[in-house]
Chains A and B, each alone.
Chain A
């Protein structure tokens, strides 16, 4: 249990700057997810919280304790890795007990804690096995157990589910969420999987090239992305982007591209005539409907069982929209798209920042 504060953290590897003056305030008992593509600095940040990487500048605080120069083994952290990182020479039991043995906890307490954790994770029958006899999902449960038996200040997870298959990933996600509720500890979770981030997080930090792009609740990040990168990184299929400009018209401001005119929220775009912008439209925010303002030809249909993704060619760009599975569309057919102007996103073409209110 702790609030974690990163204060102006800079990390340089030789001449490469991995993190540039990073400020971050992780609340006590919060489930914080670091989300970003590989190389964005999210694992580096996690390692810095753990004390596994030295920092070039800045300070780290656990509550009121400055831990900048405290070595990892004195920070009372627990960590789970993508590779599981189980001690291969030790049994499952000893893997879980190891952290307690290092702290000279008495044998009876160790046994009780290990068995309690094992039953919580449903791995009691595996306690005598060696890691190489376990499947990936079982190994990750052992790794969770190793962290669970201790009372860590903070629970750090480095892409723990990335090596598991899709079905297992979903069930482990639920397990981790339950663990967070049961443990009442601060969780910091690194992932590049936006679905994981959206399901697990209390708040998400989206990072790119060592810089925080947006830090907010999953809902805010999904519905009001701060910039084009965040907008594109979250959501599946990816948000559609169309470049154009703001045109002032008799009916208020509109997004204009060639002959195309799409009315936009006056609160965002009023008085901005001529400004180069990028329009963002999520696939689920458009519907195929007679008389919609945007017309195009169906270029591709991807059925997904529960729904279908329809690729629509409009002029020189192609949009992907989500349609109910029973909606009948045909390849080459001309269809019209309708959408709620309030659900459109506008980004400045020059700096990719969101136009209008940020939060």
Chain B
């Protein structure tokens, strides 16, 4: 009796100290998680919020985190622009402070959205077709020079893009491809294909070699082995490469700036950056354009998210 309370107290003290420590750890994790969320989602939230405000509400001090008065004027200006030209003389009629301000070039926004989308889809699809066949060849077929091929492909990515711009522009001009979406597709493929090949090679190499042997013995040509065995088992990597290629193309600025000079081929980043003008800059309008710019990638990500799963090869070989 005289000993037990002592040990009891000691263990109680230990337990409460442990719980306190555990609580502290949970608190720290929560705080940092929240900070991370704010860091990542904050700008997007502000983008969406400000696209629904008038210019005067945006520029108010202190800023309005939520729109005091929700307005769709900015989106209306994009999708149903008022039929008038905004010039130096007439710009006062479209006073940014009152909203419905239309920068010159605003009518290019929707065509450029289409350009971006077309280029992005072409890059995503062609990137996959080229990369998966190349990766299969390097990962699966033990041909002579496969290592050299792999290193050559990777080395091309060591060169900074900026060093390639002038030569690329000259080549494209010589080929009469400046101001075409095709030029952008070809250029972006040069950026995405090496990375995608690299990702797919490491994925293909994880697929048990015996599955390849089984497929060939069953009667698959190389093409059929790729189609029926490697691709179905690589879905997550394929989806990731589609996303990667599309986003790279969607966000690319510097090549597009140099290689395209009119609306037949200019992409969204180029047009939006053009809205920053000498005399007036309508932040609310730019932010509305920004919201439109993030919609396609988000939709794409949501569509493909469920394919990014692991464990596809479970049950293939012993285990």
Q: Judging by beta carbons under 8 Å apart, are B210 and A81 in contact?
A: yes
- Of the residues A72, A103, A136, contact of B217 by C-beta under 8 Å: A72
Contacts of B233 in A (CB 8 A): 88-89
- Of the residues B211, B232, B315, B318, contact of A163 by C-beta under 8 Å: B318
Contact with B along A83-113 (1 / 0, CB 8 A): 1111111000000001100110000000000
Contacts of B218 in A (CB 8 A): 73, 78, 98-99, 102, 146
Q: Judging by beta carbons under 8 Å apart, are B220 and A73 in contact?
A: yes
Q: Which of A51, A102, A130 has the most CB of B within 10 A?
A: A102
**Given A83-B210, A87-B211, A89-B232, A77 and B315 touching (CB < 8 A)?**
no
Q: Judging by beta carbons under 8 Å apart, are A85 and B216 in contact?
A: no
Is B105 positioned at the interface, with any CB of A under 8 Å from its CB?
no
Q: Judging by beta carbons under 8 Å apart, are A73 and B211 in contact?
A: no
Is B151 positioned at the interface, with any CB of A under 8 Å from its CB?
no
A-facing residues in B198-236 (Cβ within 8 Å):
208, 210-211, 213-221, 224, 228-229, 232-233
B-facing residues in A101-157 (Cβ within 8 Å):
102-103, 130-134, 136, 139, 143, 146-147, 150, 156
Q: What is the minimal beta-carbon distance from A23 to any residue of chain B, in angstroms? A: 24
Q: Judging by beta carbons under 8 Å apart, are A71 and B211 in contact?
A: no
Contacts of B314 in A (CB 8 A): 88, 132
**Given A73-B220, A102-B219, A136-B318, A89 and B208 touching (CB < 8 A)?**
no
A84 to B316 Cα, complex, angstroms: 7
Q: What is the minimal beta-carbon distance from B226 to any residue of chain A, in angstroms? A: 13
Contacts of B164 in A (CB 8 A): none
Q: What is the minimal beta-carbon distance from A142 to any residue of chain B, in angstroms? A: 11
Q: What is the minimal beta-carbon distance from A137 to any residue of chain B, in angstroms? A: 12
Q: What is the minimal beta-carbon distance from A216 to any residue of chain B, in angstroms? A: 28
Contacts of B317 in A (CB 8 A): 81, 83-85
A89 to B232 Cα, complex, angstroms: 7
Contact with B along A60-86 (1 / 0, CB 8 A): 000000000001110011110111111
A156 to B316 Cα, complex, angstroms: 19
A80 to B229 Cα, complex, angstroms: 17
Contacts of B232 in A (CB 8 A): 89
Is B313 positioned at the interface, with any CB of A under 8 Å from its CB?
yes
A-facing residues in B270-319 (Cβ within 8 Å):
312-318
- Of the residues A52, A82, A99, A134, contact of B219 by C-beta under 8 Å: A99
**Given A86-B315, A88-B233, A163-B318, A79 and B221 touching (CB < 8 A)?**
no
Contact with A along B66-103 (1 / 0, CB 8 A): 00000000000000000000000000000000000000
Contacts of A150 in B (CB 8 A): 219
Is A238 positioned at the interface, with any CB of B under 8 Å from its CB?
no
Could you say which interface size class chain A belongs to? 35 or more
Q: What is the minimal beta-carbon distance from A329 to any residue of chain B, in angstroms? A: 42
**Given A81-B214, A102-B218, A131 and B318 touching (CB < 8 A)?**
no
A79 to B211 Cα, complex, angstroms: 11
Contacts of B208 in A (CB 8 A): 83, 85
Q: What is the minimal beta-carbon distance from B297 to any residue of chain A, in angstroms? A: 28
Q: Judging by beta carbons under 8 Å apart, are B216 and A47 in contact?
A: no
Is A50 positioned at the interface, with any CB of B under 8 Å from its CB?
yes
Q: Judging by beta carbons under 8 Å apart, are B318 and A84 in contact?
A: yes
- Of the residues A79, A133, A163, contact of B213 by C-beta under 8 Å: A79
Q: Judging by beta carbons under 8 Å apart, are B220 and A83 in contact?
A: no
**Given A88-B314, A89-B312, A132-B314, A78 and B217 touching (CB < 8 A)?**
yes
Q: Judging by beta carbons under 8 Å apart, are B214 and A85 in contact?
A: yes
Q: What is the minimal beta-carbon distance from B207 to any residue of chain A, in angstroms? A: 10
Contacts of B220 in A (CB 8 A): 73, 102
Q: Judging by beta carbons under 8 Å apart, are A131 and B217 in contact?
A: no
What is the chain B residue whose CB lies nearest that of A102? B219
Q: Judging by beta carbons under 8 Å apart, are A47 and B213 in contact?
A: yes
Q: What is the minimal beta-carbon distance from A261 to any residue of chain B, in angstroms? A: 53
Contact with A along B40-83 (1 / 0, CB 8 A): 00000000000000000000000000000000000000000000
Q: What is the minimal beta-carbon distance from A151 to any residue of chain B, in angstroms? A: 12
What is the chain A residue whose CB lies nearest that of B225? A73
Contacts of A88 in B (CB 8 A): 233, 312-316
A295 to B215 Cα, complex, angstroms: 59
Q: Judging by beta carbons under 8 Å apart, are A50 and B315 in contact?
A: no
Contacts of A52 in B (CB 8 A): 213, 216-217
A103 to B220 Cα, complex, angstroms: 9
Q: Which of A47, A85, A136 has the most CB of B within 10 A?
A: A85
Q: Judging by beta carbons under 8 Å apart, are B219 and A85 in contact?
A: no
Q: Judging by beta carbons under 8 Å apart, are A73 and B313 in contact?
A: no
A102 to B233 Cα, complex, angstroms: 18
Q: Judging by beta carbons under 8 Å apart, are A87 and B229 in contact?
A: yes
Q: Judging by beta carbons under 8 Å apart, are A79 and B224 in contact?
A: no
Q: Judging by beta carbons under 8 Å apart, are B219 and A73 in contact?
A: yes
Q: Judging by beta carbons under 8 Å apart, are A77 and B229 in contact?
A: no
A163 to B219 Cα, complex, angstroms: 25
Q: Judging by beta carbons under 8 Å apart, are A98 and B228 in contact?
A: yes
A306 to B194 Cα, complex, angstroms: 65
**Given A81-B210, A98-B228, A102-B224, A86 and B316 touching (CB < 8 A)?**
yes
By Cβ-Cβ distance, the 3 closest A-B pairs, closest first, are: A132-B315, A79-B217, A83-B317
Chain A residues engaging chain B, CB cutoff 8 angstroms: 47, 50-52, 71-73, 76-79, 81-89, 98-99, 102-103, 130-134, 136, 139, 143, 146-147, 150, 156, 163
Q: List 18 A-B contacts (CB under 8 A).
A: A52-B216, A73-B220, A76-B219, A78-B217, A78-B218, A81-B210, A81-B214, A83-B316, A85-B211, A88-B314, A98-B218, A102-B224, A131-B315, A132-B314, A134-B315, A143-B214, A146-B218, A163-B318
**Known A73-B221, A99-B218, A134-B315; 20 more pairs at CB < 8 Å:** A50-B216, A52-B216, A71-B216, A72-B217, A73-B216, A73-B217, A73-B224, A76-B219, A79-B213, A84-B210, A85-B213, A85-B214, A85-B317, A87-B229, A88-B314, A88-B316, A99-B219, A103-B219, A136-B318, A163-B318
